[in-house]
Amino acid sequence: MNDGESAYLLKPDIVGVLGKEAPETLFRSPPYQEENEVVIPVQIKNDWQTLVLQAGIYAHCMFSASPLRQLVLIFGSDHVQHYLRFLVYHRGALTASNPLNLNLSEGQRTLSLCFSLSSLGKPAEMLDSQHSATKPRLP
């Protein structure tokens, strides 16, 4: 993940991007609209302290790329104990969810529910898609 020649490369373990194909290059702040913007970084470690510090660097970079951004969502996963946390970085703080145990059906259901809700889109996007078919078109 980079933003030009002078920016240093960041290497999240996994990233969420919009689109259907695997991108060759990712950007915190794409130079062109058609470039691939990182939407959700995922950090995987077996030590929460290291994970939170590394995720904080990604959050800082994403805030720098979008000065009006209010929060950054990062998924943090402990691959040894199979726990996942949602890390929400604000400009001055971090809010973390309770760990989801992905070995238990309750943790798997909660994760599935979160992904289902996120696939619905933002409320404005939902309204636009619902009303676009019913809007009268002017000649």
Residue 135 pLDDT exceeds 50: no
Mean pLDDT of 117-123: 63
Q: pLDDT band for position 50 (50/70/90)?
A: very high
- Please state the rounded mean pLDDT for residues 75-100: 93
Q: Which residue has the higher pLDDT, 138 or 44?
A: 44
**Tokens standing for 10?**
């960041």
In the predicted structure, residue 100 carries a pLDDT above the cut 90: yes
Rounded CA gap, 44 and 42, in Å? 7
Question: Tokens at residue 6, please?
Answer: 């002078």
Which pLDDT tens digit goes with each residue over 6-42?
455 566 666 655 565 665 655 555 555 555 556 778 8
Query: Tokens 């259901």 sit at which residue?
Result: 109
| Residue found under tokens 């909660």 | 110
CA–CA dist 81, 19 (Å, integer): 31
Alpha-carbon dihedral 128, 129, 135, 139, rounded to 10 degrees: 100
pTM: 0.65
